[in-house]
């Protein structure tokens, strides 16, 4: 503790609970025989709810649990962790979740933890990345060992909380949430399948785009979840395309199956044009080209799409820039508008793509158009 400046950390109120974690690790490694007695004292202290001691006591308890979990502590620990799961303190919520992660490794505890599902679903909407990740781990463990189907209301709330997280910036959180979303589809009660279809339909495009993710684990998990989603929706054509790896036809088939939602699909696709990943931006541009054929009668959406593609002409990737310019030219040419207006749009496009110093992507586009 002295070598790690543990005592100084212990004396500061802001870092007291971090020092308790360090102290717990050192005691667990050097004085294991003391741990059961210490845990018994801490459990009693936490039951009494002495506010000044709660956070450091919880920090010590969770650290010892993580290193030396004992089954006979399970029920007492679960009671305390459940009580602090809704704490206003972020650190206390994190510690409670860490404790639940330890308990979730014990199969005998899983059924007793089922009652926490609703509270855990609420925590998925938390802005704290660490809390969301631990919540995903606990929920995954609970669903994995579940013998019964998930009740419809719980499945709907869980799917609604997971859907925005399919695009999470943290790949570990994203991977967890994609797999959880797939589990929800497979475990929901039969009567809950129909209400869940709306959310599953909304997940198709995000999962499709992430099939192109640069992270191979995310891409593979997205493909598996996408297959489960189209199977859940009983869309045989889309299911066949995913099974046979014809992903290049997926967007076209999706738009053809549900033309009435083309504008919604377009707005869903727009954020992917700003993705830091080039494969996702490319997939989004190609989808815009497909959507342009369907949306040519809807001027507002059509113009929105054209502006988005124009902005992509300055993409950092010359290949994406070129693809965006070509796509824009094709959908404008195919648009049924008066010839004078069409000529104005074509002239504007040519000015956009005309060669300029340092404009390698635009030069490539110009040659493609001239050809």
The closest of 204, 218, 212, 226 to 283, measured between CA atoms, is 212
Using a CB cutoff of 8 Å and minimum separation of 24, what contacts does 298-302 make?
298/262, 298/263, 301/262, 301/263, 301/266, 301/267, 302/331, 302/335
Whether 324 contacts 331, CB under 8 Å: no
- The pLDDT tens digits of the residues spanning 190-220 come to 777 888 999 999 999 999 999 999 999 999 9
What is residue 39's predicted lDDT score, i.e. its pLDDT?
Answer: 80
CA distances from 206 to 174, 212, 355, 371 (A): 12, 10, 35, 35
Residue 15 confidence (pLDDT) above 70: yes
Query: What tokens appear for 19 in the block?
Result: 């020092």
Confidence of residue 110 (pLDDT cuts 50, 70, 90): confident
Stronger pLDDT, 290 or 31, i.e. the higher one: 290
All structural domains of the chain with their residue ranges: 1-105, 153-188+195-261, 295-371
- For the entire predicted model, the pTM comes to 0.82
Give the number of C-alpha atoms closer than 13 A to the C-alpha of residue 128, restricted to the C-beta side: 14
Query: What tokens appear for 369 in the block?
Result: 């158009």
- Measured CA to CA, the distance from residue 198 to residue 24 in angstroms comes to 48
Give the number of C-alpha atoms closer than 13 A to the C-alpha of residue 40, restricted to the C-beta side: 6
The closest of 84, 121, 124 to 100, measured between CA atoms, is 84
CA distances from 273 to 281, 308, 311 (A): 5, 8, 9
- Measured CA to CA, the distance from residue 262 to residue 137 in angstroms comes to 35
| β partners of residue 188 | 150
CA distances from 7 to 84, 133, 211 (A): 27, 31, 50
The Cα angle at residue 241 between residues 248 and 197, in degrees rounded to 5:
110
The closest of 229, 224, 200, 194 to 211, measured between CA atoms, is 224
Residue 239 confidence (pLDDT) above 60: yes
Query: What tokens appear for 275 in the block?
Result: 């993705």
What is residue 368's predicted lDDT score, i.e. its pLDDT?
Answer: 42
């Amino acid at each position: 503790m002295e070598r790690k400046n543990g005592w100084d950390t212990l004396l500061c109120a802001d870092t007291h609970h971090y020092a308790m974690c360090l102290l717990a690790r050192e005691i667990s490694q050097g004085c294991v025989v003391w741990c059961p007695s210490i845990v018994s004292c801490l459990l009693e202290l936490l039951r009494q709810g002495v506010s000044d001691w709660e956070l450091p006591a919880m920090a010590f308890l969770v650290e010892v649990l993580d290193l030396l979990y004992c089954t006979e502590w399970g029920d007492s620990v679960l009671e305390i962790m459940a009580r602090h799961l809704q704490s206003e303190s972020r650190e206390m919520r994190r510690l409670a979740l860490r404790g639940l992660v330890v308990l979730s490794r014990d199969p005998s505890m899983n059924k007793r933890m089922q009652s926490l599902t609703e509270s855990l679903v609420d925590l998925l909407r938390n802005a704290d990345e660490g809390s969301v990740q631990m919540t995903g781990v606990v929920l995954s463990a609970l669903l994995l060992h579940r013998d019964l189907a998930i009740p419809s209301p719980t499945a709907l709330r869980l799917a609604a909380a997971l859907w925005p997280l399919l695009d999470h910036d943290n790949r570990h959180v994203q991977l967890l949430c994609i797999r959880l979303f797939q589990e929800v589809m497979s475990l929901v009660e039969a009567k809950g399948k129909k209400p869940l279809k709306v959310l599953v339909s909304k997940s198709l495009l995000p999962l499709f785009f992430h099939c192109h993710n640069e992270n191979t684990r995310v891409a593979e998990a997205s493909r598996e979840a996408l297959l489960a989603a189209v199977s859940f929706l009983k869309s045989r054509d889309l299911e066949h395309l995913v099974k046979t790896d014809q992903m290049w036809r997926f967007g076209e088939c999706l738009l053809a199956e549900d033309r009435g939602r083309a504008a919604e699909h377009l707005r869903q696709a727009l954020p992917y044009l700003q993705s830091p990943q080039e494969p996702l931006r490319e997939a989004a541009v190609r989808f815009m080209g497909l959507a342009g054929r369907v949306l040519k009668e809807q001027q507002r959406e059509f113009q929105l799409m054209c502006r988005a593609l124009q902005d992509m002409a300055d993409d950092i990737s010359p290949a994406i820039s070129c693809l965006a310019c070509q796509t824009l030219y094709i959908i404008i040419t195919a648009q049924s508008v008066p010839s004078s207006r069409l000529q104005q749009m074509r002239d504007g496009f040519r000015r956009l793509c005309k060669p300029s110093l340092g404009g390698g992507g635009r030069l490539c586009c110009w040659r493609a158009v001239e050809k």
